[in-house]
Structure 1
Amino acid sequence: MPALAGDTSGRESRLDGALAEMKQARVPAWRDGALGLAAVLGSAGLLWLVSGDGLLALAYALGLGVLVLALRMGLRFLPRQAEAELAAPDWSVTFAAIERPDEALAIVDRAGRLVCANSRFTQWFGHGAPPRLPLDAPHGEAVEAAARAAWRDGQAGLPQVSSPKGRWSLTIARAGRGEDHLVWRLVPLAQADLLADMAAHIGGKLGRALSREGVQAAVVLPDGHVRVANSAFAARAAGEGAQVSGSDFVSWFRADEGERIFYAREGAKGVPLRFVHLPIADPDLGGGTDPAQTPSLFLILDNEAALGDTRAGLPQIEALLSRLPLGLAMTDRDGRFLFANRAFLRAAGHDAPVPPPYPSDLVIREDKGALADAVRRYAQGAPTAGDVAVRLHSAPQEPVSVSLAGVRGLGEGTVLLSIKDSTEEARLKREIAQATKMQAVGQLAGGVAHDFNNVLTAIIGYCDLILMRHTPGDSDYDDIQQIKANSNRAASLTRQLLAFSRQQTLRPEVLQLPDVVAEVSTLLKRLLGEKIQLEVTHDRNLGLVRADPMQLEQVLLNLAVNARDAMTANGTDTKAGGTLRIMTRRVSAADVRAMRSEILPIADYTALVVEDTGHGIKPSQIGKIFEPFFTTKEKGKGTGLGLSTVYGIVKQSGGFIFADSEVGKGTRFTIYLPVHVPDPADLAAEAPKAKGEARRTEWTGGGRVLLVEDEDTVRAVAERALVRQGYDVTTAADGEDGLEALSRLIGLGEDIDLVVSDVVMPSMDGPAMAREIRRIRPDLPVLFMSGYAEEQLRREIDIPNMHFLAKPFSVAQIVAAVEHVLRG
């Protein structure tokens, strides 16, 4: 763009020379003035001496002074003008900076003149200055408005402008030191080959689907020749298996005197046809496309009715849309339903097989007007599409988006409506959110229970130590027993919290669920009472499960108690009754796959179902029933730990539990336990144990114990309990202290028989300390004390000759555990 940027190289070189000479000729201002005054006075004095006329000399001096002053003033302005010219923008550098192969860039001044542009701009838009660009008519005024907005606001833009040469996105920004220029940037938009895409669809699955429903379809080029057609069109127009691509589209049809159109091959004996014409053009271009140059999609429908009847082609369209999984419906121009497929009615929460008279009948009263207005607007205006947010009668708290599109070619204007059925998606989101929340609550509950177990260990231990100094009948004996009894009650609560957080100790066995149900059935009958009937049914060929039978019995008892309370109005109506059903079911991987659950992995399960006929659970509460301390019972009627314990036991056993309830009809709990397949390696490892082999030991009592515990009260209780039994106890507050104590004892020539250690400690925890000790004493046994589950600790620690003592423990329990380890 040298012509636009200007040839400034010669002018700049001349200005450089002039400016350099003037800068060299410059002198200080006072010296310049003194020399000029001396020159004027000297010449005037010389004239006075020669002529002897003082008046003449004075006039000469004044005239010469005025002349010098005028020259000086002119010279003062000359350098500034040269500097100003030299400071002009270097447009050649700007041109090099904006030269882009994929963008059009131009710079316009305040006067609207194009001062610089890159090659791509001139190639696409010529040498005209923006906003006077050769664009399509609808975009001209928008571009001018954007330019005015850019001068006013500093920047503006349009997502799309178009011309016969393509489409661009436009951005305009004000720039320059004085913000007296606009920088125009036009980036081309990628253009999809709509004709090729539509031809691929009609020649592919969409065309075959239309053929199955009796809809003939053809893509016609602007010159009137068929680009591609589906098999239904080819069979009707030319015969089964014939090729119609490249033929003249109009040649396949004939019209009679009544302007009814038939296939030429069928003649007037055939069925009249209805044409739906859809231009294959980008709708975003608006009126910028030439209809004579636009390819078309023709849908041909059999029509035995008048052309003006909107419902004439409706049976074919309804048959097509009814097979789609999307929720689709169609209304006439007055907003009445013409039809709605099953997916639409299901998504709208409408149970009847036929739709109501109007779409607005499906939404709440506040949204009726908005939906009715939207339907009328799309029916009477141009064929456009849009969305409107409404709230359905079936779910007034959850807005849904209804998509609307004006349909043309079916007589009077009609509107196509669609609703996405998000019921399953919403259910999955709720299940995943509930599972995530339960995991977080479980971690919190496990931490609280672990810390509380330390406190209870100290309380129970001190109670045991005090009771050793009292006998039954003492005044304080009963009080101490009450303290210990309440401490044990608190310990049972912590065990329930640990069960919920999947951190309790389990003793899993391979078993059959019907055997567990049979063991607890007698107790359940007494628990339920005479008014509640117990029904037990089992499937055949149930798979084995691996779980703790005692904990599964606890699950059944907790669920039965909740069911009894639900069927007796929370236990207040003893005359009320109902039925409690306990069922075991065989669930195959195919059954799980059919459920399409995002929570339940695909595998074989044995399901335990507990179902009651009680008052049910409200939808707003069913998502919280497994949370600790949440209960719907009256104050003082329950702790809120029953279902949370069930949840923890099931999850720790590798299973899944789901609750379904309907108010007034009852509640169903379904527990899925994975089918257990015995591992041959495990069976081989159990064989030596089955022979009754046992390790002998020479321990005869006493011994030295290293006790490591960070809780002072727990350490003090354990030390006193072991000392009373004759053990020599060395204590340490953490793992590092324990290693130092062991090294000190070894240095003194003394030995350690057992290490009793807490698991979680600051600085160095128990497992890390045990590994360091094993480097010194590989055969030294370790007894870990913890409130967490034994199985979990064994998986995480994995140290041989490791033993476990659950917190809280009594004095007798820790003494028995130490003795058991030392005896081997």
Structure 2
Amino acid sequence: MDSKQWVMLGGLGAALVVSAAALWFVSESVILSVTFLGGLAVMIAALIVFGRFSTPATVDEMAPPDWSVTVAAIEQPGVAIAITDRANRLACANTLYADWFGVGASPPNLALDRPSLEALTRAAREAWRDGQAETQNLMSHDGTTGWHATAERAGRGDDYLIWRLTAAAEADAALAVSEWLTGSLGQLLSRAGIEAALVAPDGMIRSVAQGFAERASGDSSATMAGQDFVTQLRTDDRDQIYFAREGRKGAPQTLLQVPLDDLSNPDASGADEATSLMLLLESGVGIGGQGDAANSAATPQLEALLGALPLGLAMTDRDGRFLFANQAFLRAVDREEAGVPQYPSDLVVAEDKGALADAVRRFGKGPASNGDMAVRMRGHPDEPVSLGLAGVRGLGEAAVLLSLTDSSEETQLKQQVAQATKMQAVGQLAGGVAHDFNNVLTAIIGYCDLMLLRHTPGDSDYDDIQQIRVNSNRAASLTRQLLAFSRQQTLRPEVLQLPDVVSEVSQLLKRLLGEKITFKVRHDRDLGPVRADPQQLEQVIVNLAVNARDAIQAAGGGTGQLTMVTRRVSARDIRKMETDIIPVADYTVLMVQDTGGGIPQGLLTKIFEPFFTTKDQGKGTGLGLSTVYGIVKQSGGFIFADNVAGTKSTQAGARFTIYLPVYQGTVPAPKTDDALPASDWSGGGNILLVEDEDMVRAVAERALSRAGYTVTTASDGEEGLAAIANGGPFDLVLSDVVMPGMDGPTMVKALRKAHPDMPILFMSGYAEEQLRKEIDIDNMHFIPKPFSVQQIGEKVGGVLAGSRPSE
């Protein structure tokens, strides 16, 4: 015991003696005092003994933990590790985590895009609940960097989460190749006599295998990143390639360049614009090299290399027979199940067989060189692909290396872009033709109306004139379909519920389909409202139903089923689809599915083209689906067509899916027309008629003059302004929109400076909605072409009645 303990013990003993003396003085009993003193002495002795055997507390349990050892322990190459507490505060992290994310941020609150933040937050909740969690494909804000993350609960009280984040190498295929080279695969190649390096388009080294670093620099651990690849090699007077460090003392090398064009740079068009895998092969390495055991053992290793690369590679002998092909090559030529054919020419169309066979023999027997040629595969004869060829030496007998990239997705994207461009061009052409044709139809229908005013039913010419008028109206409906396809027709959009539109046409559809076709309708709950023209949506549904009926009847028997389904698709569902076509938003979807056998795969990209039809000649115009396409696109929606496989209870068929965006604003009150009916207007008026087409101007002038109006005509905007300046005030300006020189909107903007309240009535074959987007003019009205004599009279009377000042 130390001095403090002795002092305390002495004080305690003195207190015991004083206590015993006080007890004797009170009780005058010696026995009682001695007994009391002895009991206390035994108790004190027991406490002393217990204190000697007890372990003093030497550690302050409340002191904060020392994380330095933990930080040293979690330093792992390629893995960013962070430890967080229950409040998501960063307790410690390794160096790689600090380099990637900094020490000011902790999971799950990292600098990621919104979907990645949501996925990381869900992983944190799962880890606290289940003990561990995992999430993949986390992307940074700019979308250039990706990670995979795992979280694991740890600590004596399970109060911490251990996060491990690794880079997603899939985001950069060249990075994946780089990791293979610097790993065990690079060592395997070096043992087989093959040195490899990954070289950027500017000729600088990105990474090398350890064997390449040893032979080029003398240090197997050197990365050599940023050094010029060419300076690591040299050639002699016979153009043989050696490592610059070894000179002619080393073995000659054969250089093979494998461009990773569609992996590291999708826009690259050749090896000079892409990261390349450079392979240096020693003489005597490879397949059939003088029959020695070393070369035979190297064959599986070389095949393992080629099989691991993401680029499609195959090897042939000098006579053109296949020796090997990796899975990427077989996938690109659609031979994964059938296996490797005997000759490369077996993969291409008959017209390309001879050219490919000659090229393989030329590269196999000539000097070491490389090149490429365009060929057409048997499975896709309309889509030429680029096949790379390289003569390989140093693998025993001469061989030819073939390289082919699986570009099916790129080809499909090109087809979609070309189809969209063609559809846009055809739409513009259709819109222009329809506009000009509407002018002609306006004159024909107008003159028919004027002639019918002079002929009564029963007259010899009445029926003929009426037939001309009916056929003209049929032609007008065709132009409306063309305008619908080109998205230039006049729409009257309303905020509505899609099931209500389906219900309106259900009875009509049952009559159209007949008794042999079953019609089923299913509606989802909580559907959002959409903004569209209800009449045009009805036309969409009817057109799709008629096509389904014809498909079912053509399939044989005429018995089948047509199903219409409405569904609610949220923005989260669109985000999960990972599509670049549909913007992320809430949609109401209409699916129309039949059992008519489906659409041939080769026609799926053509069905929305105008005048394209699979029906017999004379039984279809080819405008039905093009009209559907135009109405849906003009309503801000999207339409897709695909085939649905059959089941035990249903047959295969086609499915059309229409996405209409949910209307997010308040539902507007129905519009009221304050204009009085034309029959209530009898005040006449002065009208300025501006129209560049002589026949349309003549018809409109005669129709309005017969209705009691005073009409002044002008052939363009300049004449219209001159008439207003010289002819006095007008009650109404009736003008075409598109005219040579000064068009209608320009003329109206100029005259409104002097006459701000003058009513304007535009007439055009284009869409009213498009017109209102381009110009914003108050007191503006619209009448679409073609129109009849009665329609133009009623419209003018209604506009004048509505603009009459109130009494």
Q: Check whether TM > 0.5.
A: yes
Aligned partners of 1:642, 1:214: CA distance in 2, in Å? 59
Matched residue count = 570
Please tell me whether residue 546 in structure 1 is matched to residue 524 in structure 2. Answer: no
| Residue ranges of structure 1 left out of the alignment (5+ in a row) | 1-200, 238-242, 251-277
Offset, 1:411: 6.3
Superposed counterparts of 1:374-453, under 5 Å: 374-375=359-360, 384-407=369-392, 415-453=400-438
For residue 733 of structure 2, what is the amino acid of its counterpart? V
Offset, 1:784: 0.6
SS at match of 1:461: helix
Pick one of 340, 361, 366 that aligns with 1:355.
Answer: 340
Q: 2:661 matched to which residue of 1? A: 675
Please tell me whether residue 793 in structure 1 is matched to residue 778 in structure 2. Answer: no
Aligned partners of 2:547, 2:720: CA distance in 1, in Å? 48
Q: 1:77 matched to which residue of 2? A: none
Q: 2:261 matched to which residue of 1? A: none
Structure-2 change in CA distance of 1:586 and 1:347 (3 Å): farther
Aligned partners of 1:279, 1:312: CA distance in 2, in Å? 32
Q: 1:134 matched to which residue of 2? A: none
Pick one of 541, 550, 554 that aligns with 1:565.
Answer: 550
Aligned partners of 1:693, 1:288: CA distance in 2, in Å? 90
Structure-2 change in CA distance of 1:527 and 1:388 (3 Å): same
For residue 312 of structure 1, what is the amino acid of its counterpart? A
Please tell me whether residue 209 in structure 1 is matched to residue 161 in structure 2. Answer: no
Structure-2 change in CA distance of 1:691 and 1:393 (3 Å): closer
SS at match of 1:437: helix
Give yes or no for contact 1:617–1:663 (8 Å, CA) kept in 2.
no
Aligned partners of 2:476, 2:607: CA distance in 1, in Å? 23
Superposed counterparts of 1:301-312, under 5 Å: 308=293, 312=297
Q: 2:164 matched to which residue of 1? A: none
Q: 2:445 matched to which residue of 1? A: 460
Give yes or no for contact 2:685–2:710 (8 Å, CA) kept in 1.
yes
Q: 2:623 matched to which residue of 1? A: 641
Aligned partners of 2:586, 2:316: CA distance in 1, in Å? 48
Aligned partners of 1:577, 1:286: CA distance in 2, in Å? 78
Give yes or no for contact 1:786–1:807 (8 Å, CA) kept in 2.
yes
SS at match of 1:400: strand
Offset, 1:801: 1.1
Aligned partners of 2:442, 2:231: CA distance in 1, in Å? 82
Please tell me whether residue 482 in structure 1 is matched to residue 434 in structure 2. Answer: no
Q: 1:293 matched to which residue of 2? A: 247
Offset, 1:804: 0.3
Structure-2 change in CA distance of 1:822 and 1:320 (3 Å): farther
Offset, 1:404: 2.8
Q: 2:737 matched to which residue of 1? A: 759
Give yes or no for contact 1:213–1:319 (8 Å, CA) kept in 2.
no
Q: 1:809 matched to which residue of 2? A: 787
Aligned partners of 1:425, 1:284: CA distance in 2, in Å? 42
Aligned partners of 1:312, 1:540: CA distance in 2, in Å? 66
Q: Deviations over 1:530-555 (max 9, x none)?
A: 33344545666665543222212212
Offset, 1:562: 2.3
Pick one of 783, 792, 800 that aligns with 1:822.
Answer: 800
Question: Which region of structure 1 is more displaced relative to structure 2, 381-390 or 484-493?
Answer: 381-390
Offset, 1:312: 3.4
Q: 2:484 matched to which residue of 1? A: 499
Aligned partners of 1:285, 1:395: CA distance in 2, in Å? 46
Give yes or no for contact 2:315–2:401 (8 Å, CA) kept in 1.
yes
SS at match of 2:293: coil
Aligned partners of 1:394, 1:642: CA distance in 2, in Å? 32
Aligned partners of 2:321, 2:526: CA distance in 1, in Å? 55
Question: Which region of structure 1 is more displaced relative to structure 2, 473-482 or 800-809?
Answer: 473-482
Q: 1:707 matched to which residue of 2? A: 689
Aligned partners of 2:175, 2:424: CA distance in 1, in Å? 48
Q: Deviations over 1:5-50 (max 9, x none)?
A: xxxxxxxxxxxxxxxxxxxxxxxxxxxxxxxxxxxxxxxxxxxxxx
Offset, 1:453: 1.7
Offset, 1:369: 5.5
Q: 2:74 matched to which residue of 1? A: none
Q: Percent of counterpart pairs with the same letter? A: 61
Q: Deviations over 1:562-588 (max 9, x none)?
A: 232233239xx6x33344444456666
Aligned partners of 2:675, 2:400: CA distance in 1, in Å? 85
Q: Deviations over 1:699-724 (max 9, x none)?
A: 87333222222333333332333333
Give yes or no for contact 1:609–1:668 (8 Å, CA) kept in 2.
no
Offset, 1:525: 2.9
Aligned partners of 2:627, 2:235: CA distance in 1, in Å? 60
Structure-2 change in CA distance of 1:757 and 1:609 (3 Å): same
Q: Deviations over 1:144-177 (max 9, x none)?
A: xxxxxxxxxxxxxxxxxxxxxxxxxxxxxxxxxx
Give yes or no for contact 2:188–2:301 (8 Å, CA) kept in 1.
no
SS at match of 2:753: helix
Q: 1:632 matched to which residue of 2? A: 614
Q: 1:328 matched to which residue of 2? A: 313
Superposed counterparts of 1:488-637, under 5 Å: 488-536=473-521, 544-569=529-554, 575-584=557-566, 605-614=587-596, 623-637=605-619
TM-score, normalization by structure 2: 0.60
Offset, 1:486: 1.9
Q: 1:93 matched to which residue of 2? A: none
For residue 389 of structure 2, what is the amino acid of its counterpart? L
Q: Deviations over 1:101-144 (max 9, x none)?
A: xxxxxxxxxxxxxxxxxxxxxxxxxxxxxxxxxxxxxxxxxxxx
Please tell me whether residue 726 in structure 1 is matched to residue 689 in structure 2. Answer: no
Aligned partners of 2:524, 2:446: CA distance in 1, in Å? 49
Give yes or no for contact 1:753–1:781 (8 Å, CA) kept in 2.
yes
Aligned partners of 1:299, 1:288: CA distance in 2, in Å? 12
Offset, 1:607: 4.5
Structure-2 change in CA distance of 1:592 and 1:339 (3 Å): farther
Aligned partners of 1:248, 1:808: CA distance in 2, in Å? 84
Superposed counterparts of 1:157-236, under 5 Å: 206-210=177-181, 214-216=185-187
SS at match of 1:312: helix
How large is the Cα RMSD of the aligned pairs?
4.7
Aligned partners of 1:499, 1:337: CA distance in 2, in Å? 55
Structure-2 change in CA distance of 1:693 and 1:307 (3 Å): same
Give yes or no for contact 1:349–1:393 (8 Å, CA) kept in 2.
no
Offset, 1:558: 1.6
Offset, 1:504: 0.8
Give yes or no for contact 1:612–1:667 (8 Å, CA) kept in 2.
yes
Give yes or no for contact 1:335–1:375 (8 Å, CA) kept in 2.
yes
Structure-2 change in CA distance of 1:486 and 1:374 (3 Å): closer
For residue 489 of structure 1, what is the amino acid of its counterpart? R
Q: 1:741 matched to which residue of 2? A: 723
Aligned partners of 1:628, 1:525: CA distance in 2, in Å? 27
Aligned partners of 2:367, 2:572: CA distance in 1, in Å? 50
Q: Deviations over 1:725-752 (max 9, x none)?
A: 3333333332222222222333xxxx42
Q: Deviations over 1:732-781 (max 9, x none)?
A: 332222222222333xxxx4222111112233221122112211110111
Aligned partners of 2:778, 2:610: CA distance in 1, in Å? 36
For residue 634 of structure 1, what is the amino acid of its counterpart? D
Structure-2 change in CA distance of 1:233 and 1:524 (3 Å): same
Offset, 1:782: 0.4
For residue 743 of structure 1, what is the amino acid of its counterpart? A
